[in-house]
Amino acid sequence: MRKKFFRPLAAALVLPAALLTACGGESGDTAEAGAAGNTIKVGVLHSLSGTMSISEVTVKNSELLAIEEINAKGGVLGKKLEPVVEDGASDWPTFAQKAQKLIKKDKVATVFGGWTSASRKAMLPVFERNKALLWYPVQYEGLESSPYIFYTGATTNQQIVPGLDYLKEKGKKKIYLVGSDYVFPRTANKIIKAYAKANGMQILGEEYTPLGHTEYSTLVNKISDAKPDAVFNTLNGDSNVAFFKQLKSAGFDAAKLPVMSVSIAEEEVKGIGVPNIEGQLVAWNYYQTTSGATNDAFVKAFQAKHKGAVTSDPMEAGYNAVHLWAAAAEKAGSVEVEAVKKAAAGISLDLPEGKVTIDGPTQHVYKTARIGVIGKDGLIKEVWSSKEPIKPDPYLKSYPWASGLS
Amino acid sequence: MSDRLRGYTLFASISLLILVVAPLALPAFRLDELAKYLCFAIAALGIGLAWGQGGMLTLGQGVFFGLGGYAMGMYLKLHDAGGDLPDFMVWSGVEKLPALWGPFGNPVVAIGAVIVVPVAIATLLGVLVFRQRVRGAYFAILTQALAAAFVILLVGQQGLTGGTNGLTNFYDVFGRDPEAESTQRGLYFVTAIVLGVLYLGARQLVKSRFGRLLVAVRDGEDRVRFLGYNPATVKTITFAVSAGMAGIAGALFVPVVGIISPSLLGVVPSLELVVAVAVGGRYALAGAILGAVAMNYAKTAFSEEWAGGWLYLQGALFILVMTLAPRGAVGVYQQARDALARRRGDRPPPEPEPAPAVKTPKEVPA
C-alpha cells in the first residue's frame, strides 16, 4: 500500500525538477548587459532558413564582414563587437520573437536585420516598445519612419521615382505593372500610378501573382496584347526566373520590351540566368561595378571570404549599417540607444556606394540613385545616376503628385 | 484507485510547475515564449483529440488557428485605430472600413467569433465530408488543401487581411501594454489556465461514453455503424471541438506574440503541429501537449544554439523519435513502466492513463 502511494509522488517530484533544469538555465544571465565586460553585443537577425534565406544570408555575411573590419581596427569605444546571430526563418512572428530575445536576453546594443517588409513590420512594435534600435538594410515601400529604426536601404524617392524618371526620359509612355502579391509591390504601384497620372504616362495593366508563383504564360499574353512601351517589375524571388524565361521565349527581349526591375540585384541575376535577362534595366543605389576605392576594397574583402560571390545593393546597405552605427556610437561616446540616435543625425561616411549621410529627422540615409543594365557577365553596368545623393523622403512630401498617397 | 491517484498527482504537480515554479524561475520574456508553446499545446490538444482518439488526421488545423487569431487581431486592430482605419488599410489604399470588419469592433462579438467561427466551419465541413464517408488519406489531403487555399485567400486580400504582413503592431491589449512584463505574465497565466481547463474537459470527454464511442469509431468505423450508431455525428462533433480549441489557441497567440500572419496557418505550420503530437504520443492527450511544448522548445533552443543549421537537428529529432518510439514520448514512458512492473511481478500492470486505448492487447501479459 505504501509503495503504491510513494511511486507517483516520486514521479511528481522528479518531473518538475527535470523540466526546470531543461528550461530554467536562463534566469542567471538576466543581469548581463550588452556593453558590459570587454565586448559589445550586437544582434544580426536574418532568415538563414526558408525561402528568404538565399537573399538574407548574403546580407548577414556582409554585416559580419563589417563587424570583423571594425574589430580589426580596435572595435567601438575600445571594445570588440560580438555578433549574436539569430535565424528569422522567413517567418514574421519568428522575427518578432527573436528580436525580443536579442533585446531582452542578450541585451544587444543594436540589431541589424530584416529583409521583407513583413519582417520589418513584425519587428517594429518590439523595437518601439522596448526602445531598442534596428538597422534595416533593404530598399522598401516608404511611408514609414519609426523612431527606433534606421533605414539604410532606399526609400521610394531614391529608387522607384528615379526609375520612373529614367523611363520617362527615354520616352516610355505606356507602362505595364507586374508584381508579387504583398505590401511592397502594391504600395510601389500605388506610387507609380500617381506618378504616371501627373506625368502624362499611361498604365495599361496592373497584375499581381502570389509569392513563389511560376506560371507566367497568361500574364505574358496579356502584356503582349496590351503592347506597353515598358514593364515595371516588382516581382520578388523565384518568380522572376519564370517570368523572364517565359517573356524571353515569347520573343520579348530587352530591345523589344524593356523591363525595369527593383528587386533584382547581382545575386538574383545568377539565378535567373544571364541570357534571359541580359540588357534589362534595374534601379538601385549600388552595383558591384560602382567605381571608387572604397567599393574596390569592399568587393575584394568580401570575395576573399566568399569565393566567387557577388556583392549587391542590400549587402552593401547592411555593411553600411554596421559602419554607420559604429560611427554614431563613437561620436556619442556610448552605445546607449537614445545617445546613438542623437549622434547619428548628420553622420557622413565614405562607403562603397559613395558618400552616405544619415538624415536625422527621418532616420533614412541620403543615397545616389543609379539605373543599371544587366551585362553579359551577369554584373550590372550603371547607365544613369543622380548627380548627387538624394535626400530621403519616405512620405514623398516634396512631390506634389504624391499628396494623396499617405 | 492508485491509477487515479497517480493521474491526480501528476496533473497537480505539472500545474504547480506551470503556475508557480515557471513564473518564479523564468525571466518575463522566456515566460512569454513558454506562453507561446502553451498556445500551440492548446491546438495540439485538439489534434490529439481528433487524430489520437478519433483517427481523423487533420493537416489543416492552421486554418482554425488562423480564424481564431484573425478574429482577435481584428478586434485589437480596430480598438487601436479608435474609429480610424487600421494602419495597413491606409497604405493598402482602402478608404472605407470593410463590412466584414464592422462587428469585430465589439470585444464580445470578437471573442465569441474566436470559438463560433472555427466550430461552425468545422461542423459544416464535417457534415459534408463525414457523411460521404471520406476518411483516412482523403480527409488528410482535403484539410491540407483547405490550409493552402486559406493562405492564398488571406495573402490576396491585402486591404482586408493585411496580406503577407498579417495583423501586427498592437498598442493596447484589453487596456494593457502588450510589451509590458506584467501583461506578458498575465497572458501567460491566462493561457496556462485555459490549457488546463481544456485538458480536463477533453479528458472528461475521452473518459465518457462518447469518448469510448469515438475510439470505437477510430478502430472500427463500420462495426460502430452496424451497432446502430452514426459515426459521422461522432466525428463531426469531435472535429468541431478540435477546431474550437485551435481557434482559442490562435486567439491567445495574438496578444502573446503580437502578430498573426498567413505564415502561421499554412500547410507547414499545420504539419508542425501534427508532428509535435506524434512526437509527444498521439494516443494520450497529455502526449499532444508534451509534444507541442517540447518541439517548440527544441525549435527555440536549437535555433539559438545553431542558427545556421537548426532545422537539421529538429528534423533529426523527429526521425529519431519516430523510428525508436513510434508511439511517441508518452508511449516510451508507458512501455518502461510496464516493463518495470513485469520485472517486479508484484502486481499486474496498471491501466494506462489517460486514454483507455493506449495499449494493444499483446503488451498485456496473460
Alpha-carbon distances, residue B229 vs B123, B222, B241 (angstroms): 18, 10, 19
Cβ of B25 and A24 within 8 Å? yes
Grid cell digits, residue B122 = 468545422
Smallest CA-to-CA distance from B354 within B218, B204, B193 is with B204
DSSP bridge partners of A149:
A134
The pLDDT score that the predictor gives to residue A35 is: 56
> Rounded to whole angstroms, how far apart are CA atoms A232 and B279?
48
- For residues A177 and A261, state if they share a domain: yes
A104 contacts chain B (CB < 8 A): yes
Taking contacts as CB-CB distances below 8 angstroms, the residues of chain B near A208 are 156
The pLDDT score that the predictor gives to residue B347 is: 55
pLDDT in tens, A70-107: 999 999 999 999 999 999 988 899 999 999 999 999 99
Considering only the beta carbons, identify the residue of B29, B163, B263 that sits closest to A104: B29
Please give the residue that has the higher pLDDT: either A205 or B322: A205
Q: Chain A: nearest CA to B141, how far in angstroms?
A: 21
Query: Does residue A28 belong to any structural domain of this protein?
Result: no
- For residues A107 and A210, state if they share a domain: no
Please give the residue that has the higher pLDDT: either B13 or A299: A299
CATH number at residue A119: 3.40.50.2300
pLDDT in tens, A308-325: 899 999 999 999 999 999
A125 contacts chain B (CB < 8 A): yes
- For residues A398 and A385, state if they share a domain: yes
- For residues A383 and A345, state if they share a domain: no
* Surface of A (169-208) touching B: CB under 8 A: 181-183, 186-187, 190, 208
- Residues A280/A263, Cβ–Cβ less than 8 Å: no
Query: Does residue B120 belong to any structural domain of this protein?
Result: yes
> Rounded to whole angstroms, how far apart are CA atoms B347 and B366?
13
- For residues A237 and A383, state if they share a domain: yes
A97 contacts chain B (CB < 8 A): yes
The pLDDT score that the predictor gives to residue A254 is: 93
Query: Does residue A88 belong to any structural domain of this protein?
Result: yes
- For residues A381 and A249, state if they share a domain: yes
Cβ of B166 and A92 within 8 Å? yes
User: How many CA atoms does the CB half-sphere of A4 hold within 13 Å?
Assistant: 12
Residue B308, SS3 per DSSP: coil
The pLDDT score that the predictor gives to residue B348 is: 53
Query: Does residue B112 belong to any structural domain of this protein?
Result: yes
- Residues A202/A174, Cβ–Cβ less than 8 Å: yes
Number of domains in chain B: 1
- For residues A141 and A178, state if they share a domain: no
Q: Which residue has the cell 462495426?
A: B223
Query: Does residue B285 belong to any structural domain of this protein?
Result: no
Query: Does residue A14 belong to any structural domain of this protein?
Result: no
Q: Which domain covers residue A50, as residue numbers?
A: 39-153+291-366
Query: Does residue B337 belong to any structural domain of this protein?
Result: no
Please give the residue that has the higher pLDDT: either B324 or A203: A203
Q: How many helices (H) and strands (E) are present in chain B, helices listed first?
A: 16, 2
A5 contacts chain B (CB < 8 A): yes
Considering only the beta carbons, identify the residue of A8, A27, A208 that sits closest to B10: A8
The pLDDT score that the predictor gives to residue A1 is: 40
Considering only the beta carbons, identify the residue of A4, A20, A24 that sits closest to B2: A4
Query: Does residue B310 belong to any structural domain of this protein?
Result: no
Residue pLDDT tens, chain B, 366 long: 477 788 888 888 889 999 989 999 998 889 999 999 999 999 999 999 999 999 999 999 999 999 999 999 999 999 988 888 898 888 777 888 999 999 999 999 999 999 999 999 999 999 999 999 988 899 999 999 999 999 989 988 888 998 888 999 898 888 888 778 888 899 999 999 999 999 999 999 999 999 999 999 999 999 999 999 999 999 999 999 999 999 999 999 999 999 999 989 999 999 999 999 999 999 999 999 999 999 999 999 999 888 878 888 888 888 888 888 888 888 888 888 888 888 876 555 554 444 444 444 444 343
E strand segments, chain B: 167-168, 259-260
Query: Does residue A214 belong to any structural domain of this protein?
Result: yes
Grid cell digits, residue B238 = 469531435
Q: Which residues 6+ apart lie within 8 Å of A60 measured at CB?
A: A44, A46, A48, A85, A318
Q: Which residue of B has its CA nearest to A50?
A: B311
**What is the interface size between A and B, counted as CB pairs within 8 Å?**
160
Number of domains in chain A: 2
Q: Chain A: nearest CA to B329, how far in angstroms?
A: 14
The helix or strand, by DSSP H or E, that contains position B131, with its residue range, turns out to be: helix B107-131
The pLDDT score that the predictor gives to residue B158 is: 83
Cβ of A183 and B92 within 8 Å? yes
Judging by DSSP bridges, how do beta strands A174-180 and A230-234 pair with one another?
parallel
Q: In 10 A of CB B334, how many CB atoms?
A: 23
Average pLDDT over residues A5-10: 44
Q: How long a stretch of residues is chain B? A: 366
Query: Does residue A327 belong to any structural domain of this protein?
Result: yes
DSSP bridge partners of A43:
A84, A111
**DSSP-assigned letter for residue A262:** S
The pLDDT score that the predictor gives to residue A314 is: 96
The pLDDT score that the predictor gives to residue A237 is: 78
Alpha-carbon distances, residue B222 vs B49, B129, B213 (angstroms): 20, 16, 12
The pLDDT score that the predictor gives to residue A32 is: 40
- For residues A378 and A250, state if they share a domain: yes
Residue A174, SS3 per DSSP: strand
The pLDDT score that the predictor gives to residue B260 is: 94
Query: Does residue B161 belong to any structural domain of this protein?
Result: yes
Q: Which domain covers residue B8, as residue numbers?
A: 2-267
Taking contacts as CB-CB distances below 8 angstroms, the residues of chain B near A181 are 155-156, 158, 163-164
Q: Confidence class of residue A51 from pLDDT cuts 50, 70 and 90?
A: confident
Considering only the beta carbons, identify the residue of B32, B34, B155 that sits closest to A181: B155
Query: Does residue A2 belong to any structural domain of this protein?
Result: no
List the single best residue of B4, B5, B9, B265 to mutate versus A (max A Cβ within 10 A).
B9
| Residue A7 pLDDT greater than 80, yes or no | no
- For residues A277 and A299, state if they share a domain: no
Torsion of CA A311, A316, A322, A324, to 10 degrees: 150
Considering only the beta carbons, identify the residue of B156, B264, B307 that sits closest to A181: B156
Cβ of A12 and B10 within 8 Å? yes
* Surface of A (18-57) touching B: CB under 8 A: 19-20, 22-24, 26-27, 30, 48-49
Cβ of A11 and B9 within 8 Å? yes
Query: Does residue A262 belong to any structural domain of this protein?
Result: yes
CA-atom Rg of chain A in angstroms: 24
Query: Does residue B158 belong to any structural domain of this protein?
Result: yes
Phi first, then psi: give them for residue A344, nearest 5 degrees: -65, -35
- Residues A176/A223, Cβ–Cβ less than 8 Å: yes
Taking contacts as CB-CB distances below 8 angstroms, the residues of chain A near B90 are 406
The helix or strand, by DSSP H or E, that contains position B58, with its residue range, turns out to be: none
Q: In 10 A of CB B322, how many CB atoms?
A: 14
The pLDDT score that the predictor gives to residue A311 is: 96
Query: Does residue B251 belong to any structural domain of this protein?
Result: yes
Considering only the beta carbons, identify the residue of A16, A91, A130 that sits closest to B17: A16
Taking contacts as CB-CB distances below 8 angstroms, the residues of chain A near B353 are none
- Residues A399/A156, Cβ–Cβ less than 8 Å: no
Considering only the beta carbons, identify the residue of A23, A101, A125 that sits closest to B29: A101
pLDDT in tens, A322-380: 999 999 999 999 999 999 999 999 999 999 999 999 999 999 999 999 999 999 999 99
| Residue A28 pLDDT greater than 50, yes or no | no
Query: Does residue A18 belong to any structural domain of this protein?
Result: no
Alpha-carbon distances, residue B231 vs B7, B135, B339, B358 (angstroms): 30, 11, 36, 21
